[in-house]
A = this chain, B = another copy of it.
């Protein structure tokens, strides 16, 4: 048998290989959400403790020319807060920050990075509880976040036939922002709409407050860190259901419409652009109106059915959609 290397296998197959390895490990009956959900959660007394871990690597997840150290620090925390928000009404409490830094890193860079870490920590009342620093060739930021929830968590597997599929805000901005950076770099004279898209890439905001407000009504929940297409697929697959998505209902910001005028391009960013960090959820039809009262930015983009596949409709006609997301390896 040929010994493949991981660039040949591809990230998803590698994760599957690893998941298989996990399965032989005996499971704990207190575990409420495991690998395959946005956070790992376990029951402790009447509470859920949720833990999430994300690693950002220079040149893979960010280019240091395109994002300021403060923004980078802030984003590292926000994306983890987003992962606990994707479990429902969870309060983020403690964060651990592991840094890999090249020897030539300026002291000011480290200080600015920490200013960035502290901003969302102050806002969400998260305690920076520890971490470590090691030497590395590229900048690595490895964040572990611990959150505590008093309510039941909302997993990816509870969607039911007839539930509506909702999202907390517009899609495609962050992906369009990074596309602009790839095209023109950071020093280009961007207009206001373009700057908005880039700021959505560099300054994401976790929908923690939104999750707190609506989680008790939801049947399933995830965040859109890998794009709307992936999120919808995760909810469908985990719930063993299908869905029909009305692409005309996918919310697109006026700034994205200004910068990329072609509707097909906008939808491409929305479905595959990634890093929007909006919540994607399912809710029983009866509660859908109430949720929109609580959060007016919510849009409903489709409905759950029992087909085991996702059908995309545009102007009433079925579209063939092929995954074209980012490949890590």
Measuring CB to CB, which residues of chain A are less than 8 angstroms from any residue of chain B? Answer: 3-7, 9, 11, 14-15, 17-18, 21-22, 24-28, 31, 34-35, 39-40, 42, 44-45, 47, 49, 51, 53-57, 60-61, 93-94, 96, 98, 100-101, 103-108, 110-111, 114-115, 118, 121-122, 125, 127-138, 140, 142, 144, 146, 328-329
Contacts and interface: CB of A to CB of B under 8 A. Distances in A.
26 contacts: A5-B105, A6-B103, A11-B133, A14-B110, A18-B133, A25-B122, A26-B125, A28-B127, A35-B128, A35-B129, A40-B94, A40-B96, A40-B129, A42-B94, A44-B44, A51-B94, A51-B144, A53-B131, A53-B142, A53-B144, A57-B100, A57-B136, A100-B140, A101-B329, A103-B329, A136-B138
Given A3-B106, A4-B107, A98 B328 contact: no
A92 to B, nearest CB: 12
A54 B127 CA distance: 19
A247 B132 CA distance: 31
Contacts of A49: 44, 49
A47 B42 CA distance: 15
Given A3-B106, A111-B21, A329-B103, A57 B135 contact: yes
A111 B57 contact: no
A53 B22 contact: no
Given A110-B14, A110-B18, A129-B31, A103 B140 contact: no
Given A17-B110, A25-B122, A130 B6 contact: no
Taking chain A's interface residues, is the majority helix, strand, or loop, or is none over half, making it mixed? mixed
Contacts of A108: 3
Contacts of A56: 134
A298 B146 CA distance: 36
Contacts of A21: 111, 114-115, 118, 128
Contacts of A122: 25
B6 A110 contact: yes
Contact of A96 (B51, B104, B138): B51
Counting chain B CB atoms within 10 Å of each CB, the highest count among A24, A110, A111, A127 belongs to A127
Contact of A26 (B53, B114, B127): B127
A82 to B, nearest CB: 14
